[in-house]
Amino acid sequence: MSLPTLRFIVCLLAILGPTVAWGASYDLVIRGGRVLDPETALDKPLNVGITAGRIARISAEPLTGARTIDARGLVVAPGFIDLHQHGQDDVSGVLKAFDGVTSGLEMEIGVPDVKEFLAQKSGHSLINFGTTASHSAARAAAFGQPLAPTEIIPPSGRSTNDPATPAQLAQMQTRLQQELDAGALGIGMGIQYVPGATRDEVIQIFRVAASRHVPVFTHVRSAGKKEPGSSIEAVEEVIGAAAVTGASLQIVHINSSCLSDAPECLAMVAGARARGLDVTTEAYPYIAGMTEINSALFDQGWQEKFGISYDALMLPDTGERLTKERFDELHASPKVNPVVLFINRQEVVDADIADPLVSIASDGELGHPRDAGTFCKILARYVRELRTVTLLDAIRKMSLMPAQRLEKATVSARRKGRMQEGADADIVIFDPAAVTDRATYEHPKEHSTGMQFVLVNGVPVIAKGALVPGVLPGSAIVSGAPR
Ligand SMILES: [Zn+2]
């Protein structure tokens, strides 16, 4: 090729720009949707070109692709990231996809064996996944009562209720280091489920997280107004541990951990942040919680503590409300039985969701409507009906804020929660006037509707409102360098 010809081609390229130069064709083009990016506050109709699982181009110019989605009249936003998803089963995966969740991570408590979890899910998951290292599981192992691979919350017993010896504490710390090496994104601490953990133990575990520059996710020690053991005391404990160790901290489900004291708990989070601490929090939009009935949460004194009685407890599969006799039988049983607790007030939850410090996380598992409906409920109830959250803020709470929470543990999270060139193509496309949750306490597995398309790593898992069969594009989100 002669030099003048080469110059001519270079000039032509400069004029035409990179997308048209080679008649560029993307794997997939999303045409004409209202593109929302919570980080840059972008909100306008644009075209999106996707190649090899990433957003390659966002442009007002027409783009051509092997496949095209006509998104005119629809919102195009980053897929939702649920940092608190216990149900890692296939049914939950489908429910999450219908709800717009493209990444569902077990961060509150963590799985008992990170390596095994990642190996089992790899190539078999509809949505992206990840986990923390489990303090509860490390504790159970140190007490010689290791948890089964799918067990998250330990049954009440010696390993939950006794203080650890120095040797047991050292064993826990070693185990947590190994789990972080295996790809865990932080340390999960369900302190209320292991009441035997002393204040000192909590600080020593925070030190492990601080030394590895990963966050601690915690279900705090206690809930309620009664002292000692109030929500305020429990939140004070973990903010104190973050302050003295330097660890980053996410206080999970501030709605159910703080109940009617949530405004003060949120003020404590704001105060900690104002003084330079990296403390964040999350909530789910339901008045009822759910947990295991044989856990330490229901040890002596729970009624007085939570201000509820047996009839506030419901079995999810049958709707049966409990009596004293039935409760005693189930609490003593070694069998894991989930129970729904009606414990909060609607106006408290509504105020939590609207608070700018609060990101959205479902605490999802089968049996509770939050597994299926959390994210579309935010769009239907808070954005559309109550108008207490703007659409862009809702997207921020459900995508960018959780991505930012993960960024200290993995740089790969910088490619999530954003509609930007170079970001992972985890994308939701929906009609904001129609999208809604449908799950109820009676029918907790009713999937949300209105998500027209949901893409995970560039691959549609929901298309035209229906599940796409035979695709499993979810990949692991792990600590360290991007993979
Ligand atoms: Zn919890």
**Mind listing the pLDDT tens digit of every residue in the chain (483 residues)?**
454 554 544 444 444 444 443 557 999 999 999 999 999 999 999 999 999 999 999 999 999 999 999 999 999 999 999 999 999 999 999 999 999 999 999 999 999 999 999 999 999 999 999 999 999 999 999 999 999 988 999 999 999 999 999 999 999 999 999 999 999 999 999 999 999 999 999 999 999 999 999 999 999 999 999 999 999 999 999 999 999 999 999 999 999 999 999 999 999 999 999 999 999 999 999 999 999 998 989 988 899 888 899 999 999 888 999 999 999 999 988 888 899 999 999 999 999 999 999 999 999 999 999 999 999 999 999 999 999 999 999 999 999 999 999 999 999 999 999 999 999 999 999 999 999 999 999 999 999 999 999 999 999 999 999 999 999 999 999 998 533
Q: What is the DSSP letter of 457?
A: T
C-alpha pair distances (Å), 195 with each of 270, 346, 442: 27, 29, 32
Ligand 1 centroid–CA 108 distance in Å is 7
Ligand 1 centroid–CA 291 distance in Å is 8
Ligand 1 centroid–CA 349 distance in Å is 16
Ligand 1 centroid–CA 234 distance in Å is 13
Ligand 1 centroid–CA 266 distance in Å is 17
The partner residues of 216 in beta bridges, in order of sequence, read 187, 249
- C-alpha 380/C-alpha 246 separation (Å) is 38
Query: For the whole model, what pTM was predicted?
Result: 0.93
Ligand 1 centroid–CA 213 distance in Å is 23
- C-alpha 284/C-alpha 241 separation (Å) is 25
Q: Are 253 and 342 in contact (CB under 8 A)?
A: no
Helices vs. strands in the chain: H and E counts, helices first: 16, 20
Ligand 1 centroid–CA 137 distance in Å is 15
Ligand 1 centroid–CA 86 distance in Å is 10
